[in-house]
Structure 1
Amino acid sequence: MDENTAISSKPNSKEQRIDLTHISLRPLHLSDLDDVMVWTTDEKVPKFCTWELYTCEEDGINFIENIATKFVWCKAICLEDQAIGCISLTSYSEHDRCRNKSVELGYVIGSKYWGKGIGTQAVRLAVKAAFTEFPYLERVEALVDVDNVGSQRVLEKAGFQREGVLRKYLFIKGKTRDMVMFSVILTDPHV
Structure 2
Amino acid sequence: MNSEVTLRPFDLADLDDFYVWASDDRVSAWCGWDTYTSKEDLLNYMKSHVLPHPWMRAICYHGRPIGSIFVTPYKGNDRCRCELGYHLASQYWGKGITTKAVKLVLGTVFRDFEDLERVEALVDVDNVGSQKVLEKSGFSKDGVLRRFWILKGKVKDMVLYSFISTDPLV
TM-score normalised per structure 1: 0.86
Percent of aligned pairs sharing the same letter:
49
| Alpha-carbon contact 2:107-2:169 (below 8 Å) kept | no
1:134-145 superposed matches below 5 A:
134-145=113-124
| Alpha-carbon contact 1:143-1:179 (below 8 Å) kept | yes
Aligned partner (choices 104, 119, 129) of residue 150 of structure 1? 129
Aligned partner (choices 19, 23, 33) of residue 5 of structure 2? 23
Structure 2 CA distance for aligned equivalents of residues 72 and 171 of structure 1 = 25
Structure 2 CA distance for aligned equivalents of residues 71 and 146 of structure 1 = 27
Aligned partner (choices 49, 52, 55) of residue 67 of structure 1? 49
Flag structure 1 segments of 5+ consecutive residues without an equivalent: 1-18
Structure 2 CA distance for aligned equivalents of residues 48 and 159 of structure 1 = 22
Structure 2 CA distance for aligned equivalents of residues 40 and 114 of structure 1 = 15
Following TM superposition, by how much is the alpha carbon of 1:34 offset from its aligned partner in structure 2, in angstroms? 0.8
Q: Deviations over 1:11-54 (max 9, x none)?
A: xxxxxxxx231101101111111101111111110111101000
Following TM superposition, by how much is the alpha carbon of 1:63 offset from its aligned partner in structure 2, in angstroms? 2.6
Cross-structure match for 2:91: 112
Structure 2 CA distance for aligned equivalents of residues 125 and 26 of structure 1 = 11
1:162-181 superposed matches below 5 A:
162-181=141-160
Cross-structure match for 1:45: 27
Number of residue pairs matched by the alignment: 170
Cross-structure match for 2:100: 121
Structure 2 CA distance for aligned equivalents of residues 148 and 138 of structure 1 = 26
TM-score normalised per structure 2: 0.96
For residue 137 of structure 1, give the secondary structure of its aligned residue in structure 2: coil
Find runs of 4+ consecutive structure 1 residues off by over 2 angstroms.
Answer: 69-72
Flag structure 2 segments of 5+ consecutive residues without an equivalent: none
One-letter amino acid of the structure 2 residue matched with residue 151 of structure 1: S
Structure 1 CA distance for aligned equivalents of residues 53 and 128 of structure 2 = 25
Query: What is the Cα-based RMSD across aligned positions, in Å?
Result: 1.1
Cross-structure match for 1:34: 16
Who wins on radius of gyration, i.e. which is larger? 1
Structure 1 CA distance for aligned equivalents of residues 66 and 114 of structure 2 = 28
Aligned partner (choices 55, 59, 63) of residue 81 of structure 1? 63
One-letter amino acid of the structure 2 residue matched with residue 45 of structure 1: V
| Alpha-carbon contact 1:20-1:117 (below 8 Å) kept | no
